[in-house]
């Protein structure tokens, strides 16, 4: 089967770019130094390809992601790097599950849900989840008193991932990690988990990096000067073309829009064209060279993660040939 036979919109993954990204990251962070984050692709087939390169553990953002990874036989060491107030579905799984806690409420939920291992999530500067560093040790003590194994700490310097100035990114990462290491001194445990695609090469302080976007990349991350290649595109069909008239330039419309593209980082890129705007099922663009109805275009989404969450499947391609089709099987909650 070739790409032209696909119904559009359709997610395409360039196998050569994907494999190069996975290999480059595995060389930089071999084995357990990388805990790939599945939220970026929500696809167990892609996670299996990451596992085959030697990474034994994975990071998840939702209970559904943990369940799906366990069901796919990838449950050797799953970290839910997120707080949950109802952990019963996690406790019921036949897999090694570690969940983040940052409060007595999330600690109580882990105990009540039958989860046995936790990480203390420490706030290192991003105003989101995580306990204040000075309070982390106390929470770890209470977790151990409640019978839980505390494997260590995690802290996500998410506000630094896309800082354009690499030296500034490195300096601020060090400041964030100083907070995490101070908390770790109080908490103990073998894991110091953090980082992401934007800081994978700068963060020398954690024992493992939670990167996800590196596998497929997107236009937002591409601006951060990283060595990874954009592997994901959304195949679209040109459904309408309007010729220039008077002062109005011509334009074309592709059948990708707000329901097939994550829009939080703005409009997608249509190579060789200027994008004007997106509607529910359309992107209006002005092409540099004429196009006609029926032509195919490969659109680059601004943000991969929410783009993938809108699709049921992704197609692994080499040029125009479809090598495999993977279910995006970790969607929902």
Quick one: which of 267, 265, 198 has its CA closest to 228? 198
Q: What share of the chain is helix, strand, coil (3-state, %, to 5)?
A: 30, 25, 40
Interaction between residue 21 and a copy of itself (CB under 8 A)? no
User: Contacts with a copy of itself in 156-195 (CB under 8 A)?
Assistant: 158
Q: Rounded to the nearest whole angstrom, what is the least distance from the CB of residue 216 to a copy of itself in the complex?
A: 14
Structure tokens at 83: 């707080």
In angstroms, how far is the first alpha carbon of the chain from the final one? 33
Q: Rounded to the nearest whole angstrom, what is the least distance from the CB of residue 145 to a copy of itself in the complex?
A: 19
Q: Rounded to the nearest whole angstrom, what is the least distance from the CB of residue 64 to a copy of itself in the complex?
A: 9
Contact pattern from residue 238 through residue 277 relative to a copy of itself, giving x for each residue in contact according to CB under 8 A and a dash for the rest: -xxxx--x--x--x-x-x--xxx-xxx-----------x-
Cα–Cα distance measured from residue 250 to residue 271, given in angstroms and rounded to the nearest whole number? 17
The residue range among 90-98, 137-145, 167-175, 307-315 that interacts with a copy of itself, by the rule CB under 8 A, is 307-315
Q: Which residue has the tokens 């050797």?
A: 76
Buried b (16+ CB within 10 A) or exposed e, 198-212: bbbbbbebbbbbbbb
Q: Rounded to the nearest whole angstrom, what is the least distance from the CB of residue 23 to a copy of itself in the complex?
A: 26
Structure tokens at 204: 């020398």
Which residues partner with 170 through β-bridges?
none
Q: Rounded to the nearest whole angstrom, what is the least distance from the CB of residue 55 to a copy of itself in the complex?
A: 20
Report the residue number, 151 or 265, with the smaller CB distance to a copy of itself. Answer: 265
Interaction between residue 75 and a copy of itself (CB under 8 A)? no
Sheet with 97-101, strands from edge to edge, namely 58-60, 78-80, 97-101, 117-121, 149-155, 191-194, 208-209
Interaction between residue 128 and a copy of itself (CB under 8 A)? yes
Of the candidate residues 278, 297, 314, 317, the single one contacting a copy of itself (CB under 8 A): 278
Contact pattern from residue 24 through residue 63 relative to a copy of itself, giving x for each residue in contact according to CB under 8 A and a dash for the rest: ---------------x---------------------xxx
| Strand segments (E) across the chain | 10-14, 58-60, 78-80, 97-101, 117-121, 149-155, 191-194, 208-209, 232-242, 251-254, 273-278, 283-287, 296-299, 313-318, 321-327
Q: Rounded to the nearest whole angstrom, what is the least distance from the CB of residue 9 to a copy of itself in the complex?
A: 6
Q: Which residues bind to a copy of itself, rule: CB under 8 A?
A: 7-10, 39, 61-63, 82-86, 102-103, 105-106, 123, 127-130, 132, 158, 237, 239-242, 245, 248, 251, 253, 255, 258-260, 262-264, 276, 278-282, 284, 292-294, 303, 305-306, 309-312, 331-333
């Amino acid at each position: 089967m070739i790409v032209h036979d696909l119904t559009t919109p359709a997610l395409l993954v360039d196998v050569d770019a994907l494999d190069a990204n996975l290999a480059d990251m595995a060389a930089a962070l071999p084995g357990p130094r990388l805990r790939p984050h599945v939220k970026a692709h929500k696809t167990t087939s892609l996670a299996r390809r990451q596992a085959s390169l030697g990474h034994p553990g994975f990071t998840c953002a939702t209970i559904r992601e943990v369940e799906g990874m366990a069901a796919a036989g990838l449950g050797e060491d799953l970290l839910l790097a997120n707080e949950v107030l109802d952990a019963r579905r996690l406790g019921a799984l036949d897999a090694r599950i570690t969940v983040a806690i940052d409060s007595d409420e999330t600690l109580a939920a882990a105990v009540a849900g039958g989860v046995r291992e936790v990480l203390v999530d420490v706030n290192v500067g991003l105003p989101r989840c995580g306990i204040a560093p000075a309070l982390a040790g106390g929470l770890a003590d209470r977790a151990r008193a409640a019978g839980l194994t505390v494997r260590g700490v995690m802290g996500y310097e998410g506000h630094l991932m896309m800082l354009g100035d690499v030296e500034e990114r490195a300096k601020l990462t060090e400041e964030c990690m100083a907070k995490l290491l101070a908390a770790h001194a109080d908490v103990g445990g073998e894991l110091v988990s953090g980082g992401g695609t934007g800081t994978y090469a700068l963060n020398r302080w954690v024992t493992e990096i939670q990167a996800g976007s590196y596998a497929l990349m997107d236009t937002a991350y591409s601006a951060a000067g990283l060595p990874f290649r954009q592997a994901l595109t959304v195949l679209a069909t040109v459904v309408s073309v309007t010729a220039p008239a008077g002062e109005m330039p011509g334009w074309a419309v592709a059948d990708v829009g707000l329901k097939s593209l994550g829009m939080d980082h703005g409009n997608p890129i249509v190579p060789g064209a200027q994008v004007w705007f997106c509607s529910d099922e359309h992107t209006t663009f002005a092409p540099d060279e004429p196009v006609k109805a029926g032509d195919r275009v490969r659109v680059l989404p601004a943000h991969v993660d929410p783009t993938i969450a809108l699709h049921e499947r992704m197609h692994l391609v080499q040029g125009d040939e479809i090598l495999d089709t993977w279910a995006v099987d970790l969607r929902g909650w």
